[in-house]
């Protein structure tokens, strides 16, 4: 794993796929998790879609390691807040004057599953795709430079901040900052890290803008690439099939209430 990306280099099937194929697969899994009107849809998409692909790419362990740190705190807060404070719900568990509502727990379960599938799909793309290859693939197909840069920056944001935070923490330790001990002590040690991290990120954005302009980022002329990204015919067909299926699912989800009301209901 390089310092500027989450990508893990493996000689595996997932990594050998074209970057756009992995992008479309990830978007298709996200669409499935969002449009299927079922409480367990997100969990099913994660177990039957994200997990097999992660196993295929040999990245299941790092994907799960990063995923639970994101989803677990959100899930705990969702179940507590929605379960306890759902208005007019049906109580299922009594805790003195408070009670968990069935409707709130169902809502929390649904949102947590969707988050699991969405973040799992994003990590699947990030861990299994070199950002440079994805950028080249998008630019070769005429995607505007600004959109390409947004996609690339999103994939590099978290690892970039982790590297910078690690350097700042090591520098502060060399100056005598105590970063170990109780939770309170660790929270105190975070304060001297925030300001240099934020300022350093702002400076990094300015330096990137200057570097991009020096390399002709805003030029409208056609660009050449130092290495092509091979694209197989069957992957192109698969991408179009998944793209069309995603559009159909979204349209069906939008008009399903009307279909159910005027056709299925009438039957």
Q: pLDDT for 36-55, tens place per residue?
A: 988 999 999 999 999 999 99
Q: What pLDDT, in 10s, does the model give residues 211-234?
A: 666 656 566 656 666 677 888 999
pLDDT at position 221 is 59
Q: Look-up: residue for tokens 């309170």?
A: 184
Q: 3-39 pLDDT, tens per residue?
A: 457 888 888 999 999 999 999 999 999 999 999 988 9
Q: What was the pLDDT predicted at 1?
A: 40
Q: Residue 159: what pLDDT?
A: 65
Q: Structural domain boundaries of the chain?
A: 13-216+230-248
- Tell me the pLDDT tens digit for each residue of 196-213: 766 776 666 666 666 666
**pLDDT digit string (tens) for 78-124?**
898 888 888 877 888 777 777 888 898 999 999 999 999 999 999 99
216: phi > 0 → left, psi -120 to 50 → alpha, else beta; which? left
Q: Is the pLDDT of residue 193 over 70?
A: no
Beta bridge partners of 91: 101
Cα 53 from chain centroid (whole Å): 15
Average pLDDT over residues 113-140: 89
């Amino acid at each position: 794993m390089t310092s500027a990306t989450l990508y893990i280099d493996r000689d595996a099937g997932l990594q050998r796929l074209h970057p756009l194929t992995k992008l479309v697969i990830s978007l298709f899994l996200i669409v499935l998790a969002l449009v299927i009107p079922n409480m367990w849809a997100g969990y099913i998409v994660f177990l039957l879609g994200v997990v097999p692909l992660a196993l295929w790419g040999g990245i299941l362990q790092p994907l799960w390691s990063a995923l639970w740190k994101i989803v677990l705190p959100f899930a705990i807060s969702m179940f507590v807040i929605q379960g306890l404070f759902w208005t007019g719900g049906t109580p299922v568990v009594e805790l003195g004057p408070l009670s968990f509502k069935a409707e709130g727990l169902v809502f929390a379960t649904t949102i947590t599953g969707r988050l699991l599938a969405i973040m799992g799909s994003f990590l699947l793309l990030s861990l299994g795709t070199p950002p440079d290859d994805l950028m080249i693939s998008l630019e070769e197909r005429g995607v505007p430079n600004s959109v390409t840069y947004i996609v690339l920056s999103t994939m590099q944001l978290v690892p970039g901040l982790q590297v910078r935070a690690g350097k700042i923490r090591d520098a502060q330790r060399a100056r005598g900052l105590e970063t170990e001990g109780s939770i309170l002590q660790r929270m105190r040690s975070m304060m001297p890290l925030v300001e240099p991290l934020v300022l350093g990120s702002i400076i990094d954005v300015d330096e990137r803008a200057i570097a991009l302009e020096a390399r002709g980022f805003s030029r409208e002329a056609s660009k050449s690439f130092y290495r092509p990204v091979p694209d197989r015919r069957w992957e192109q067909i698969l991408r179009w099939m998944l793209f069309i299926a995603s559009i159909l699912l979204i349209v069906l989800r939008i008009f399903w209430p009307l279909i159910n009301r005027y056709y299925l209901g009438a039957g």
